[in-house]
């Protein structure tokens, strides 16, 4: 459970047709671009801005624990499976980032 003091967010960056897509699952943030490194930087900036804005606005911490789209949850589960199924997407990166 994410709080304003500590937490984490799962991220995936993948290619969908000709577009790179970056997703922060718990925040429902999606960034797109022509280059995966660009998407990585934009997603990082969006995550930081999201947390800062939520803190300043004093919004309930539940905003840091949203339910993500099923498509992204399924992709995450597959990528972390002991025996992942070949994904239809080209994956650039995925992992969990610590937020504070």
The pLDDT tens digits for 36-48 are 999 999 999 999 9
Rounded to two decimals, the pTM is 0.91
Topology of the domain comprising 7-99:
Double Stranded RNA Binding Domain (3.30.160)
Tokens, residue 70: 């099923």
Percentage with pLDDT > 70 across the chain: 100
Which residues fall within 8 angstroms of residue 62, CB to CB, at 6 or more apart? none
Task: Mention every residue, 6+ apart, whose C-beta is less than 8 A from residue 7.
Answer: 1, 26, 64, 98, 99, 100
Q: Which residue has the tokens 């947390």?
A: 51
- Give residue-wise pLDDT tens across range 17-34: 999 999 999 999 999 999
Is residue 22 within 8 Å of residue 95, measured between CB atoms? no
């Amino acid at each position: 459970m994410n709080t304003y003091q500590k937490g984490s967010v799962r991220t995936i960056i993948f290619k969908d047709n000709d577009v790179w897509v970056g997703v922060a699952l718990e925040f429902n943030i999606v960034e797109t671009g022509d280059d995966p490194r660009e998407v990585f930087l934009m997603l990082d900036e969006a995550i930081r801005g999201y947390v800062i804005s939520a803190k300043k606005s004093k919004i309930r911490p539940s905003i840091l624990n949203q339910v993500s789209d099923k498509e992204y949850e399924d992709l995450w589960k597959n990528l972390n499976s002991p025996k992942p199924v070949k994904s239809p997407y080209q994956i650039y990166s995925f992992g969990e980032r610590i937020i504070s």
